[in-house]
Amino acid sequence: MSSALSVYLTDKMPVNYLAEKALLAFKDDAAHIVIGDNEEENLRRIQKAGRQLDTQGITSLSVQGPGWDKERQWALSLGYTSTLSTNSVQWSAEVADELQQVNDVFRFTRELVNLSAEEIYPVSLAERVAKHLSELAPDHVSYELIKGEALKAAGWMGIYTVGRASQHEPAMLVLDYNPTGDADAPVESALIGKGITYDSGGYSIKPSEGMLSMKCDMGGAATVSGALSLAIRQGLNKRVKLFLCCAENMIDGRAYKLGDIITYKNGLKVEVVNTDAEGRLVLADGLQAAGEAGAKQVIDAATLTGAAQMAVGNEYNALFSVDDEAAEKALRFARQENELLWRLPLNRWHAENCPSAFADTANSRPQKGGGAGGASNAAGFLLRFAPNDGKGWLHFDLAGAYQKSATAMWPAGATALGVRTIAATLRG
């Protein structure tokens, strides 16, 4: 077994033949990462150096010397990975247990997203998450799996309609984490995840290049599941319900069509003008379920719109809320956890921005990408279903959840960006 490569931090390049802007140098059988005075930039430099070390085939690192606080060590770990790697980092003893917890959760979250749709389909996604959380807290977790025609009977028409054309039946996971010992304890928080395990676009079919990465369209379900897993490991003592809205958006003779009307459990009628705007259709069921549970705080997460990616890029997630206090809390936790999050506009009138002549609302606008303001209009659609008139509700549009190809910061595939922020918001 090879020994780990020692990695040091330095404020001066240890060799004189490299450019001043170089991130990394090798000297005396060790790697040296050059940092400066700006800590935000330092974390980016360390993560980029981790990527370079990963691409050079180095399988084990050990942090050495002064300057390695928890966030710097985690930044190194974020870069020092890939979809196929089994790399390991030997962290400093004082933070090793804490970072290993986060690392285990990130590996779980990334694996869910990176596995192919042949391996992760609606029921298997729900079962994997239920198994993971049940093993983590066996005395505090119970769950129910509603699938196939039982969804229709229960009134969860969004999930049922989107998923009915697939050979893999749609499903809703309803998982209850209750560490209080009181069966009647109030539900402090509800987590809702978009679990579209593959998205062809339906009859509004995607082009081939747009479909290639659509195994990642259950990134919201993976993110909230990972967040709950992390919060439990960190001592979460509040009751939380998890709702995963799982379906494959496929095409056959039973597939839903443009012009169809979906009548939801709350009586709201929605005209389908784009079958590729399916994420909001399934999340609507989860939001109603959260309302039935009486949750005080409601958080949903989804790889929902390309418009959010156009707005914030692939290194941020986008946040929407009509509750300023709740939004500021989430942004504060994102800064604390060093995860990039940006609040985009959401007003109550956004709920009116997808009008229909045949129903209470349409699920989008009949324009490419939903037209101008597509991410805000999607959030406005969800606002129609948010409990408590949107008080305590946070919607994460996960623009940074998946990288189609490797970058200087990230490997190709899932990033798990947002897991730490949502876990902290649950605990806070």
> Residue 252 belongs to a domain with what CATH number?
3.40.630.10
**87 plus 112 within the same structural domain:** no
Does residue 229 share a domain with residue 113? Answer: yes
Domain-embedded: residue 145:
yes
Q: How many folded domains does the chain comprise?
A: 2
Q: What is the pLDDT of residues 80-124, one digit of tens each?
A: 998 877 889 999 999 999 999 999 999 999 999 999 999 999 999
> Quick one: 144 exposed, middle or buried, by C-beta within 10 A (0-12, 13-18, 19+)?
exposed
Asked which of 94, 121, 139 is the last residue of a domain, the reply is 94
Statement to judge: residues 180 and 81 lie in one domain: no
Residue 257 has pLDDT above 80, yes or no: yes
Of 280, 365, 384, 420, the active-site residue reads 280
**Residue 280 known to be catalytic:** yes
pLDDT of residue 13: 84
Percent of the chain at pLDDT exceeding 90: 93
Is the separation of the CB atoms in 363 and 271 below 8 Å?
yes
Are both 112 and 88 inside the same structural domain?
A: no
pLDDT band at 2 (very low <50, low <70, confident <90, very high): low
101 belongs to a structural domain: no
Task: Tell me: do 374 and 417 sit in the same domain.
Answer: yes
282 and 243, same structural domain?
Answer: yes
pLDDT for the residue numbered 38: 96
Measured at the CA of 345, the angle between CA 343 and CA 349, to 5 degrees, comes to 145
Query: Which pLDDT does position 83 carry in this prediction?
Result: 80
User: For the segment 191-213, what is each residue's pLDDT rounded down to a tens digit?
Assistant: 999 999 999 999 999 999 889 99
Alpha-helical regions (H) of 115-256: 122-136, 149-154, 157-163, 208-211, 219-233
Asked, for residue 100, whether it belongs to a domain, the answer is no
Mean pLDDT computed over every residue of the chain: 96
- For residues 48 and 50, what is the distance between their CA atoms, to the nearest angstrom? 5
Examine residue 332 and state whether it is found in any structural domain, yes or no: yes
Inter-residue contact 51 to 45 (CB < 8 Å): no
Cβ pair 114, 83 in contact under 8 A: yes
Whether 187 and 62 share a structural domain: no
Closest-CA residue to 315 (of 42, 34, 44): 44
Is 163:123 a contact under the CB 8 Å cutoff?
no
Residue 102 in any domain: the answer is no
Q: Give the model's pLDDT for residue 42.
A: 97
* For residue 301, pLDDT beyond 90: yes
Q: Is the pLDDT of residue 297 over 70?
A: yes
Q: What is the mean pLDDT of residues 281-291?
A: 98
Question: 39 and 116: one domain?
Answer: no
Residue 134 forms part of a structural domain: yes
- Mean pLDDT over residues 63-75, rounded? 97
What is the maximum alpha-carbon separation in the chain? 73
Claim: this prediction has a pTM higher than 0.85: yes
Domain boundary among 54, 72, 94: 94
Expressed as residue numbers, the domain containing 402 is 107-427
Average pLDDT (13-23) is: 83
Residues 88 and 115 placed together within one structural domain of the fold: no
Number of C-beta neighbours around residue 221 at 10 A? 35
Establish if 423 belongs to a structural domain.
Answer: yes
Residues contacting residue 411 through CB under 8 Å, at least 6 positions apart: 51, 54, 81, 82, 83, 85, 403
Does any domain span residue 99?
no
Please tell me whether residues 61 and 149 are part of one structural domain: no
- 241 catalytic residue (yes or no): no
Residues 217 and 68 in one domain: no
Look at residue 1 in the predicted model and tell me its pLDDT.
40
* Given the residues 70, 107, 152, 206, the one annotated as active site: 206
Domain C-terminal end among 62, 94, 126: 94
**Confidence class for position 17, pLDDT limits 50, 70, 90:** confident
Same domain, 246 and 363: yes
pLDDT more than 70, % of the chain: 100
